[in-house]
Amino acid sequence: MYYWGQTALLSLLLAGWMAVMPQEMMISVMPDNNQSAMAFPPMTPEFKEMAKKLMLKCSKMGYQPPSLLDPPSNSSTDEEEMTPRNPFSLFSSLLSSLPLPPSPGPDLSSSRLAGLPNSSVDMPTMDADWNVTEELWNVTTLPDMIDIMKNSTDHPRCFMQAFISPMAWSAVMHGGLLLRPEVLAKLLWAAKPLMENMPPYNITLPPHLDQDRLTEMMRMFSEVFGSLSEEQREQIRDWVKVRVLENVFNCTPNGMRPKPMQPAGLEKFRPSLSSVPSLLGALRPIPSNPSSTVVPGAFGLARCPPRQRWLNRSVLRIMGRFLSRLPPDEVQVIPKEELCEFFRSPHFPAAFQKVWPIRASLGRTLLGRIKKECSISKQDFLEHTASLGSLACFYEGEASSLNETLSQRLLAQLDECQNSASTKLKQQLVRKLFSSAGATPGPELLKSLGSGVSVLSPSKLTRFSAEVLASTLPDLRNARWSPAQASTLAKALLKKGQNISGDYLLSLGTVAQGVASSVLRNIKGRELLRDGEDERLEAVSLKMSALQRRALIQGMRGDVNVSELVLSVPAALLSSMSLSTLKQAQLTSVEQLEGRSWTRAQSAFLVKKILGQKLKAEHLRKLGRAVQGVTCEMIDSLGQNETMEGVAALSQSSGWLAKAQTICAARKLFDSLEQERRDYFRNVSSAELERIPTMMIIHLPVDEIRALPASVCGVFLDKMEAANLLCLPHSSPSRTALTQKALDCLGKNMSELSTEEVMRLGPLLCDLRPSKLRPLAPEVLNNTLLGMASTCTYIRRGHREELFALVKDTFGEPSNWSEQTMQSLRSFLLLDDYALRTLPDKPWLRSALSDLMDSLSDQPSALVPEEFRSVPDLSTLRWKLFVLASQNQNQTSTPAQRRRRRREAVPVGEPTADLIEQLGQDNVFWSPAQLASMSCDTFNESASRLGEISQYTAEQLASLCQKTIQCWGAVTQLTESQAVELGCASQGFSAEELRQLNVSSLDTLQLLSACMWTQTQRAAMWQGFAQRTGVAAAQLSELDIVGLGQFICGLQKDEVEQLSSDSFREAAEAVGGALCEVAQMECFKNKAVATFGRPQDWSEGQVMALGNIIAGLDAAELQSLNPSVFSFIVSSAIPLIPPQRLAALSVSQVQALGPDNAAVVTDAQKAELGEELNAALAEAVGVAYARSESSPDGSQSGTGGQDGSALPQGGGAGRNTMMSLVVILQPLLFLLLGFM
């Protein structure tokens, strides 16, 4: 993921270039009878920008640009047409325009283009470059040029291939069918840089391709598999299926339509490919033997049977890594002989290497068939474990049955797995191998464990000597470590007080997160910013704490100026730079913002600094992630003639836009179109609707949605099928209007609809009232519910009971579901907590529910307001998995363990080290009695894992603290390393015990800051730290303030006043990330006013950087804020504002909060707002508001959606008290700020 920002910006350029590619380019690349004489296509300005970006990546990767000779006198380029006799003339000009990377080597800027030798240059290398470039000047065909490039050395080849890549892909696109396979292979090799940086939209693929050329194309796609988006992988999978059906079975699939993933706003530029077949015929004469040119997929092919089997060993080989994206039902019907032959072929291992994530249903189905149908015996199957690749993530055998060799083979396949089943298996394998290693494990063991070594507890890691750890560092640096593990390893590898070089830090990889900040701030920047080190620096900084990153930046500033630092450091470090630091950087142009991973606060600060309030469409195309800082005022400043272009550019950056920005852009676009033509949407044409980005259409006013003419229904349904509705609140009237319009466009009664027609509703299907589904034909209803189970991750609260009843009526009670039915419908269990809790245990139930949890674990947190949640509350599912795991542990316990439970009255399900490691965050469900029943051996082994949980109850914490004292001694005897291991379990200590806790390191405070401390505890921790270190508030530096984390809330009022203004200025964002009580926030607000000036003068960037400090503003100060800054207030600050102060806001200020902030306003706050402000609040969220009297509990009622369902007035968070919100929001906030 390094150069993420550069890659994202490059993606936008690629999308634009591929879309606006002129038809002349299509024609010029078509081969004639002499394929080796393929002409060079014309090159547009978009091509130049794209090629330059690809070449810049070579420079960033540390490749030195080649030395070039002057172009020969006969080379020429038509500047207007950009059609050179040889495109290499453009290569030299693009190369010379690249910024030179900092390098300790000789400066080639003056000699690389002039053709003059430089005495300090490596002459043999330069001679080789000159020989290659001289040959390239003289070639006249694209294949010949590629041959010369392939034979060059790595450094020049990277730049040359990057330059020719877009041209090669266009040749493939529009002439692939008629190219000889060997020529196609050359072009595909040249096109790889483009494909590795393809934007995450639909790839335009050749409409017809025979098997030989399809094989070549798929070989290249398999090579770039890791660079493709998940949507593109699925698109290529479907495309291959169509080609195979046409080529092998002479039929056309029924009902397969390409998913609309066109980059929003570029639809009007989409080149028509309808003329390609005739174009090919016109450009290449038909040979005398027509049979040799049968065009696959020609018109007139019959429709394929509904369940045409198309997968045989040959097709499986062609599919390569895209086999991992097949639907499970298609894997289920692969003929046994074909599957088994492929499994035993040399092509099988490569097909499943590095293809995670794989759907659990596919992995289990495929692995189950191989194990059952293709293996003579269990041992025969185990001998093939090294070939399983990502399929090994679903291996369900017991590790105890494997010998050491097989254990090592299987463990090596689990590196990229991230599912629950593989976690359990990895733990078993690692413990098995470690237990056989003896008292002093050596380097052989570490090498065999690979990244699985991260399963070992800190106490086990201490058994490896420093020499063994150092010798196996390459095997350690890619593992995922907990803070306690990383700290243990770093202490073993580094002597106390030892300084390290930048190169050594980079060699540590993920272990670097255990290096003390005091060491990091002494590392020089030049050592870290050398050519080619960007990827390693990104990997090292990614896992560091906020304190470590800030310390590293401070050290780098010692020998690198701010401007260079800002433009060079990777994303993780850039995000840690304060606005004060950015102010010192010489950033004056939009071009300097390109390709950098700015935070939203940084973006707002820089965009305003560089552009002011005036915005042009051309700026939006170049901002990249900095588009986050564009305000509504800037969007409104777009001229009438550039509004569509500007909105299209914003739509391409939709992943970075806040909901408020999207709404402003939609409003600006609709106003512009209405100025262009009155009642624009009431008589809009299909072509006009097509060019409007989908993310804008969903924000159309309800009346305009209803009034869309029937003639645009096809385009409307296409757009809705691919729409992302997450920016609309679940109760939005727009959702209901869009759904009803889509139903009207289908043009049939529900009872007449086919499955394909129902699925055209896309995500709107998830908003449909269950009563609307009941009239569907039985088979269509079955298929629809199955489709909803796999696509609808969230069902609005008012529909859940009715939908679950429909599921039970259709498929029966969940307690009676078969394994296959459970795998297909398991997500519906989240609609009914009681049904989920009472599911009877079955051998396969835990796997099915674990797969469900794995599929949802990367979704947004449940702390997101209910109006915008994309997954339901998962606490019941987590509890059920905990119960199943602990019951299984009881069933597999030894007789001795069961006797001890009876003798000591230990609860059933005693925690063990293995089970604690498996459960992870679900250890929160242990009862206090169960935690108290742990043996000291288990506690010693598992303390660091238990310490990662921050949401224990007071009773659970009391049990853990008693266990700590029992096993480790009194609090005063605990070492700082033990405090790190205890982590959040130390929340159970009293304030006096926390004062005595031996913590004297800022790094330890930073780690503990992620826990949920009371104000009394925070004060005690600060007081104890200050007493042990002798530091006073007035002496706190920038790093000290950052390191304190939320313990900064423990400072008294007079101590806050003593803070250095310079230190506070640099660390203000860290202070704003703490969730202090209002009294503390008022103190920090006073410090902010003294440092940054009056609140009424604060910019959007400053307001966002100050974070929760905004909650300390009094009513008059809140009233003085410009409405434009309100959508930039961090959402965690809103619930902290006292209700009476929030009620002082004006209507325009409340409306300016934006959906995200308005949705987290609590019921207690709403009760103070009054009717007018509550109506403004509902408008800001995007829901309807009916004026009514307050209910007895103080909350507003009478708000409802178009379908009559009750509408939440600000999300689930509103039921909590102010202090409860502080506690609940802490884990999410510190996760976002890098503390966890």
pLDDT of 1214 > 50? The answer is no
| pLDDT above 50: residue 3 | no
Backbone angles phi, psi at 303, to 5 degrees: -70, 140
Who has greater pLDDT, 349 or 94? 349
For all residues of the chain together, what is the average pLDDT? 82
Asked whether 545 and 1007 are in contact (CB, 8 A), the reply is yes
In this model, does residue 674 exceed pLDDT 80?
yes
List alpha helices for 250-359, DSSP H.
276-283, 313-319, 328-332, 336-343, 348-351
Digit-coded pLDDT (tens) for 297-356: 445 678 888 788 899 999 999 999 999 999 888 999 999 999 999 999 999 999 999 999
Helix (H, G, I), strand (E, B) or coil at 381: helix
pLDDT at res. 16: 45
Between 1225 and 716, whose confidence is greater? Answer: 716
Is pLDDT above 90 for 83?
Answer: no
Buried b (16+ CB within 10 A) or exposed e, 403-416: eeebbbbbbbbbbb
- Who wins on pLDDT, 439 or 908? 439
Q: What is the mean pLDDT of residues 1105-1121?
A: 96
Torsion of Cα atoms, 1083 then 1089 then 1090 then 1092, to 10° = 130
Mention every residue, 6+ apart, whose C-beta is less than 8 A from residue 834.
none
Q: What is the pLDDT of residues 476-491, one digit of tens each?
A: 888 889 889 999 999 9
- The burial of 1, by beta-carbon neighbours within 10 Å (0-12 exposed, 13-18 middle, 19 or more buried), is given as exposed
pLDDT score at 899? 56
The pair of structure tokens assigned to 652 is 């391409």
Residues in a beta bridge with 83: 78
pLDDT at 443 exceeding the cut of 60: yes
Q: Tell me: the pLDDT tens digits for 1154-1210? A: 999 999 999 999 999 999 999 999 999 999 887 654 443 343 333 444 343 333 333
Under a CB-based contact definition with an 8 Å cutoff, are residues 1059 and 1087 in contact? yes
Q: What is the pLDDT of residues 813-833, one digit of tens each?
A: 999 999 989 999 999 999 999
3-state secondary structure of 1171: helix
Q: What is the pLDDT of residue 895?
A: 56
Average of pLDDT values for 988-1004?
A: 95
Q: What is the pLDDT at residue 1176? A: 95
Decide if pLDDT at 135 tops 80: no
User: Can you read off the two tokens belonging to residue 96?
Assistant: 């010379």
Interval 594-616: pLDDT, tens: 888 999 999 999 999 999 888 88
Residue 789 burial by CB count (10 A; 0-12/13-18/19+): exposed, middle or buried? middle
pLDDT at 971 over 50: yes
CA atoms within 13 A on the CB side of 769: 14
- Contact indicator for 1034, 1059 with CB cutoff of 8 Å: yes
410-424 confidence digits (pLDDT tens): 888 888 888 888 888
Q: What is the four-CA torsion angle of 1141, 1147, 1153, 1156, rounded to 10 degrees?
A: 100
Give the number of residues written for the chain. 1236
One-letter identity of residue 107: D
Query: What's this model's pTM, rounded to 2 decimal places?
Result: 0.82
Query: Of residues 293 and 186, which shows the higher confidence score?
Result: 186
Percent of the chain with pLDDT over 70: 80
- Per-residue pLDDT tens digits for 1138-1156: 999 999 999 999 999 999 9
Q: Is the pLDDT of residue 430 over 50?
A: yes
DSSP letter at 924 equals G
Q: Are 1007 and 969 in contact (CB under 8 A)?
A: no
